[in-house]
Amino acid sequence: MTQKNILVICYYFPPSSEVGGRRWAKLTKYLYRLGYNISIIAANSFTYDGLWDEEVSKFQKNINYINPKPTPKFYVKKKIIEPLSFFNKIRFKISYYYFSIWALFKKGFFYDPSIGTHRALKNAMLKVQREKNIDAIIVSGGPFRWCYYSSKIKSKYFKDTPLVIDIRDFWANGISGQYFKSNKAKQERRFENYTLSKASLIFTVNQLISDYISYTYPKLTSKIKVLPHVYDQEDFQNLPQRTNNSTDTIILAYAGTLYPKMEATLNLLKELVFNLQNRKYKVRVYFYTSSMEYFDFFDDELQSIIIYKPLLKPKELFKTFSENVDVILQLRASEKLEENFKSSKFYEQLALRKTILYIGKRSELSEFYLNNKLGFSLTLSSEIEHIADTIINNLHSKSIPDLSFDISSFTFENQAETVSEMLQKLASE
């Protein structure tokens, strides 16, 4: 691979601020520095100021955007809150029936936003091939229909080009599969099977997904490589540190999506806040997120304390947390497949060297924070009193987190070097 021309196909990519674009925005930044010629195919997000634009500025001209296929919007996305107006009831019924008919003719998981883009994706891939003579193709999912389309196009037009499939979430057996009829799930499994069978290499973000693929498709075991979520050390240079001179103020903060099935977790957070308030502490909880999910979940007296803020660009967010926050919240949804996930925020939170408060069901993650003295774990209502004591005491002792805990190997720079080595190996086979 003397030219090292690689094509990365990633539905979410800057300027899109969807977290799915973060992984390859960061990796391509460092692969570019390693001498790779980077070409990108992504969906047009119709935004102009994303979270990771700076990462891809060096090869911006090599990003090819495809317009996503329109899908029914109202029924899928609108949150229905009773009572509906007469007009909205009519809109809801029309969109419901339209969507139901539309879904009947779509194979697999019909919520996938990349459905219907096969032709545009093929044209974009062939255009890049004519211009650059691609040495390797990397496709990141979800959404996963793009992985399937890419593998079909690769098999027909790029027969000798190595294909790397990057799986960032569970596919056919994921949470989405719980909401579909068995025939749709079987169709999605066929897409998954075909796609993975065409891959020269399969990346996953954790061992859970790797184990699933290995168990379901034993012949693919040797192709699987865990490429976990990591952090970019350049985002954490020269951060200002918080100096909390107040003896009665505690600032907690969370950044990211507030997922479904977080009610039990947020109830524990409410109990903790009330407990700290009863001890005469001034508590503030900041949610840096892109929506107002769960705002109505909090009692009136808490709505002046639970403060929603727009999501910030990463460096600005890290600076804000480093300078102003006492405790970083790690809130977990009550989903079986999600409990042990080390999310994209995991190492970024550790890199901030702040106390982390895990709230949710007991899991490998909660034990990780405790065993490595990186934070505290709140899993039951009966633990509220103890956790409140621990947070207060730690404001003075500052014994948590353990600042000697080493995360230097979990960086995008190191990970890009690993990816480069694997690409070179594929080229020599």
Calculate the CA 307 to chain-centre distance. 23
Equal fold, 5-70+113-230+411-428 vs 234-397: yes
Exposed / middle / buried, residue 33 (Cβ in 10 Å: 0-12, 13-18, 19+):
exposed
Q: Classify 5-70+113-230+411-428 by CATH class.
A: alpha beta
What are the distances in angstroms from CA 301 to CA 88, 248, 298, 305?
32, 19, 8, 8
Q: Where are the domains of the chain?
A: 5-70+113-230+411-428, 74-104, 234-397
Contacts (Cβ under 8 Å, ≥6 apart) of 422 = 201, 225
pTM, two decimals, is: 0.88
The Cα 162–Cα 136 span in angstroms is 5
Q: What is the pLDDT along the chain (429 residues), one digit of tens a residue?
A: 455 999 999 999 999 988 899 999 999 999 999 999 999 999 998 877 888 999 999 999 999 999 987 665 555 444 555 556 777 777 777 777 877 787 777 888 878 889 989 999 999 999 999 999 999 999 999 899 999 999 999 999 999 999 999 999 989 876 555 556 788 888 999 999 999 999 999 999 999 899 999 999 999 999 999 999 999 999 999 998 887 666 789 999 999 889 888 999 999 999 999 999 999 999 999 999 988 889 989 888 888 899 999 989 999 999 999 999 999 999 988 765 455 567 888 999 999 999 999 999 998 889 999 999 999 999 999 999 999 999 999 998 999 999 999 999 999 999 999 999 999 999 888
Instruction: Tell me the angle at which helices 22-33 and 412-428 cross, rounded to the nearest 10 degrees.
Output: 70
What are the distances in angstroms from CA 421 to CA 75, 229, 416?
46, 18, 9
Is there a cis peptide before residue 72, judged by omega within 30 degrees of 0?
no
What are the distances in angstroms from CA 348 to CA 56, 233, 255, 395, 425?
20, 9, 11, 21, 30
CATH assignment of 234-397, given 1.10.357.10, 3.40.50.300, 3.40.50.2000, 3.40.1640.10? 3.40.50.2000
384 and 268 Cβ atoms separated by less than 8 Å: yes
210-255 pLDDT per residue, tens: 999 999 999 999 999 999 999 999 999 999 888 766 678 999 999 9
Alpha helices in 34-117 (DSSP H): 74-77, 86-104
Is there a cis peptide before residue 15, judged by omega within 30 degrees of 0?
yes
The Cα 323–Cα 64 span in angstroms is 38
168-185 pLDDT per residue, tens: 998 987 655 555 678 888
